[in-house]
Amino acid sequence: MVFSSLTFLLAFIPAVFICCFFCKTTAARNIVLLVFSLIFYAFGEPVYIAVLVFLSLCCWIFARLTELAGSKKEKKLWLTASVAVCILSLMYFGGSDFLIKIINSLAGAELFSATVTALPLGMSFYILRLISYSVDVYKGKASAQKRFYKVLLYASLFPLAVSGPVVLFHETENELTERSISLKDVSNGLTRFATGLAKKVILADGCAVAANSLLFPGASLSDTALLSENVAALSGKSALSLWAGAVFFMLQIYLELSSYSDIATGLGLASGFHFKENFNYPFTASSFSDFCEKWHISLISFFRDYIYSPLCEAKSGKLRQISALFITCILVSLWHGLSSSFLLLGIGAFILLAAENFIFAKIKDKCKPIGRIYLLITVFFGFILFRADSIAVFINTVKGMLCLNNNPLYTKVALNFIAGYAVLFILSIIACTPLIKIIKKNLIKAGENNLFANVIYRVCDIASPAVLIILSVLYMAASPEKAFGYFGF
């Protein structure tokens, strides 16, 4: 099941909240959320629920053993076992196909055939949650749960299923046990959910159609296996198509990820969970380091707190810090996928972060306007590589952007097409900035002394979630469920 579907909005969500409404205790609400979370996972891949339950059970058992262990050595043993089970499962489902291809190509014959074609829904994310649980218990930041269903709920919570945020166990332990749901939270949660949903189905999906049309003829993002074969067709694209397509793709990925975070945060809030913000207008960052603090904050924080910080002890030298940074960047890129393009992205991120923090640290934040331009250029080409999914396609795309493929600078077809998406483009750009937030803040402030402004604000505040839901339903009805660009994780 995807968030941007009528089934989710008009069948699943009403069922969840009606059932939760009749629950008197947190424990009862937890059971309801657990059942519906498992139904959510079952909707796509019922067989793989067994994987989720098995891994949660392993981590629950190992965490209990960690807490009961007498010595630090024994604690470390159970932690290692827990993390190993998680990592090996992720490697099997996410990396075995890639590794088999490498072995077969090195051997020059098909020694092995791929057995796993896709990662189970949300596996990359629930693995991180389970690792967080195991490590938090080991470090004493959280207690090992006596009841298995709480660990399973934490791992499977449906708002977090598709794209995070990566909620650390110690941050949510108290709310798993006892939480209150206020009217303010439910109201804000529903608004946030409606905003995220509209951002996804109207803006992100629109940008996806534009990007797919401009960059690749008819190929969808899900057909990444075919993209390399489209290199020849890509060569015929005008430079304008490629530039515009790349911009739309950049907007698509940010809007999809941030919309899913909005949906998760909104649903969490309405259920009594207070998740941290996951995006903070990353395209307004003034350096790559700043961008990493604003983009998928929970994911970057996880790797920083659980990989970089332990590797990089206090008062360690620069060499150790740089090594820790390198390992962290490579692990983040491998988490996204086992491919040469992701590895290249990881290395690129390391070079930028190392340069900014160890060579240009003093001048990094001196000139923010130049920093913003540098950041946008860097991230822009990074997204092209992410989209290309192969170095050959990336190089061909960049050559095309510079008219080095004997392709034209622009065509009337491309101009007309892009003009048709002008309104979408402007709204998408606005959605990437805090402009709406600033307008709302100013309207509230003006409303304190001005009745008209107050009325305008109240009417807009009441109507906007409803209007966004109706528009979302119009877009979702009678149309196929759009693939989510980040769905492979």
Partner 1 sequence: MKKLPSAASHRVIKLTVSAAIILILSAICFIFPLRPTAAEIKDNKLTEFPEFTVSALTSGDWFSDISLWFSDTVPFRDTVKKIRSGLSIAFGDREANGLNESVTENTSEITEAG
Pull the structure tokens for residue 349.
């991120």
CA distance 205 to 294: 23
The smaller minimum CB distance to partner 1, of residues 14 and 434, is found at 14
Contact status, residue 342 vs residue 224, Cβ threshold 8 Å: no
- Interacting residues of 94 by C-beta distance below 8 A, sequence separation 6+: 119, 123, 124, 337, 338
The smaller minimum CB distance to partner 1, of residues 1 and 142, is found at 1
With tokens 């360690």, the residue in question is 316
Q: Considering only residues 40 through 59, tell me which ones interact with partner 1, judged by CB under 8 A.
A: 42-47
Distance of CA 163 to the CA centre of its chain: 4
Q: Which string of x and - marks every residue 381-410 that binds partner 1 (by CB under 8 A)?
A: --------------------------xx--
CA distance 54 to 358: 43
> Pick from 183, 225, 232, 314: which binds partner 1 (CB under 8 A)?
183
CA distance 160 to 125: 8
Pull the structure tokens for residue 40.
């959510």
Does residue 187 belong to the site contacting partner 1 (CB under 8 A)?
yes
Q: Considering only residues 219 through 238, tell me which ones interact with partner 1, judged by CB under 8 A.
A: 236-238
Residue 190: CB minimum distance to partner 1, A: 5
Does residue 186 belong to the site contacting partner 1 (CB under 8 A)?
yes
The smaller minimum CB distance to partner 1, of residues 329 and 393, is found at 393
CA distance 124 to 91: 10
The smaller minimum CB distance to partner 1, of residues 233 and 361, is found at 233
> Pick from 5, 156, 289, 328: which binds partner 1 (CB under 8 A)?
5
Does residue 16 belong to the site contacting partner 1 (CB under 8 A)?
no
Using the contact rule CB under 8 A, the part of the chain among 59-67, 110-118, 251-259, 455-463 near partner 1 is: 455-463
Contact status, residue 222 vs residue 2, Cβ threshold 8 Å: no
Q: Which of 98, 92, 99 is nearest to 119 (CA)?
A: 92
b/e map 39-59, b = 16+ CB within 10 Å: bbbebbeeebbebbbebbebb
Using the contact rule CB under 8 A, the part of the chain among 86-94, 152-160, 320-328, 459-467 near partner 1 is: 459-467
With tokens 């967080």, the residue in question is 132
Does residue 473 belong to the site contacting partner 1 (CB under 8 A)?
yes
Residue 223: CB minimum distance to partner 1, A: 12
Residue 454: CB minimum distance to partner 1, A: 6
Q: Which string of x and - marks every residue 135-174 that binds partner 1 (by CB under 8 A)?
A: ----------------------------------------
